[in-house]
Amino acid sequence: MSTPSQAQVRRSVAQAQTMVVKVGSSSLTRPSGHLDAAKLEALVASVAANVLSGARIVLVSSGAIAAGFGPLGFAERPRDVATQQAAASVGQGLLMARYETAFARYGIRVGQILITAEDTIRAAQYRNARRTLERLLDLGVVPIVNENDALASNEIRFGDNDRLSALVANIVRADALVLLTDVDALYTAPPGRPDARRIGYVPDVIAALRDVTVGGSTSGVGTGGMVTKLEAARIAAVSGVPVVLTSAANAGPAMMGDPVGTVFAPVHDRGSSRRLWIGFAAEPRGTIVVDDGAARAVRGGRASLLAAGALEARGEFSAGDPVWVDAEDGTHLARGLSGYDSEEIPQMLGRNTDQLRRFLGEAYAHPLIHRDNLVLV
C-alpha cells in the first residue's frame, strides 16, 4: 500500500460513512469534577450535524469519573480504585442524561454501551458487541460507549478510552477515527516545552512513535496523555483506519476533513473484522518463536507459519487460541490462531511438511498458523 498524501487522507475522513469519535474527560468536564454543559453541547452540535447529513457515528466518551467526583464532594480526582468506580457510577448517569437531552434537540436518539476489556478479548463477546453496535447504527441511534468503569477490575482495564476507541473502530469497521482532546494537535514534544513543534501529517505512525516525545496527561482529569493516543492511532492506522487527532473545539472541521489537528495515514489495507480481532483485540495465550527465514516470510505478509521455521513454543495454549509470533530477539512480528495445542508443537519444530507427514501423520502436515489466521502487528 503506497503512502497517500495528506489531502487524500483528509478526503477519506470527509467521506467516511462510519466514524468513531472519541472525546476525553478534559473536553467535557471542569477540573472541579463537574460536567461542562457548554462544551458537551458544542460537541453534540458537531456530531449531530454529521449524523443528520447521513454519517453513522459511534461516540466513545470519557468523563464518567471526572463528572462524578464533584457531586460526591471530592475536590480532586480520587486516586483509589473503589472511589473512582463510585464516581464513575454517579458520573456515567449524569453524562448520559446530558447527552440524551442534547441529542434530542436534533431529534437523535442515543444508546449507552459500557464495555469491559473482556468484551474485546473474547471472540463471542466481540461479535456480540459488533452486532449491537451495528443494529444501533442501522436504527439511526448514536451509540455512546465508555468502559464499564464501575465494574472493571484493575488488572484488566483499559483505564483510558483511547485504545478502547481504536478497538471500537475495528469492531464497527469504521472509515475514520477522530480523537478529541485538550490540545489542538500532536507536537514533537509535550506542548509546554519550548522546542515542541506542531505536526500536521503523520504518514507513518510507526516512525512517529520513534520520533515524537510524548508525555502523560496534565489536565488533572484525563489519564492516558499522548502515549495512549498514539497507541490508539497505531492500532487504527495499522488496521487501515485514518485518524484525526485534535481539540474538541475543532470537532466539526476535523470530521469534515478540514486541515485541523494531526492526521495519521492508514498503514495497511483494512482487514476483515475477524482478522482485526486476531491482530489487535484477542489476548495471546502463548508465543511461537521463529527463525530468521520464517520471520522474513511472516513479515512478507502472505505466508503461513510452517513448523520448519519455528524454534520454540512458549506458554500453554490450545489449537484455535491466539498466540504471538516472535522473532528470536523477542520482537513481536504477528499474532495468529495456533493450529495446534502447545504440547503438540515441540515434536513438530524444524520439520518440513514431508517429514511431519512421515513421522507424525497427516494430521500434523499443516502449517502451525495458516496465513488466513495470521495478522502482522
Ligand X SMILES: Nc1ncnc2c1ncn2[C@@H]1O[C@H](COP(=O)(O)OP(=O)(O)O)[C@@H](O)[C@H]1O
Q: Which of 100-126 are b and which e, b meaning 16 or more Cβ less than 10 Å from the residue's Cβ?
A: eebbeeeebebbebbbbbebbbbbeeb
Q: Which three cell numbers mark 40?
A: 458537551
Q: How far is the CB of 62 from ligand VHF (least distance, A)?
A: 4
The interface partner of residue 186, options being ligand X, ligand VHF, none and the CB cut-off 5 to 8 Å by kind, is: ligand X
226 is in an annotated binding site: yes
Residues constituting the chain? 377
CA distances from 48 to 17, 63, 245 (A): 14, 19, 19
Q: Give contact residues for ligand VHF (rule: CB under 6 A).
A: 24-25, 62-66, 88, 146-147, 149, 160-162, 222-224
Based on the shown chain and the rule CB under 6 A, indicate whether residue 222 belongs to the binding site for ligand X.
yes
22 is in an annotated binding site: yes
The interface partner of residue 78, options being ligand VHF, ligand X, none and the CB cut-off 5 to 8 Å by kind, is: none
Which C-beta is closer to ligand VHF: that of 63 or that of 257? 63
Based on the shown chain and the rule CB under 6 A, indicate whether residue 246 belongs to the binding site for ligand X.
no
Q: Which stretch binds ligand X (CB under 6 A): 37-45, 103-111, 177-185, 360-368?
A: 177-185
The interface partner of residue 214, options being ligand VHF, ligand X, none and the CB cut-off 5 to 8 Å by kind, is: ligand X
Whole-angstrom distance, CA of residue 251 vs CA of residue 125: 31
Based on the shown chain and the rule CB under 6 A, indicate whether residue 189 belongs to the binding site for ligand X.
yes
Q: Which stretch binds ligand X (CB under 6 A): 32-40, 48-56, 84-92, 220-228?
A: 220-228
225 is in an annotated binding site: yes
Q: Which three cell numbers mark 198?
A: 506542531
Q: How far is the CB of 24 from ligand VHF (least distance, A)?
A: 4
Whole-angstrom distance, CA of residue 87 vs CA of residue 291: 50
**What residues are designated binding site for substrate?**
62, 149, 161
Name the site residues for ligand X (rule: CB under 6 A): 24-27, 181-183, 186-187, 189-191, 212-215, 217-219, 222-226
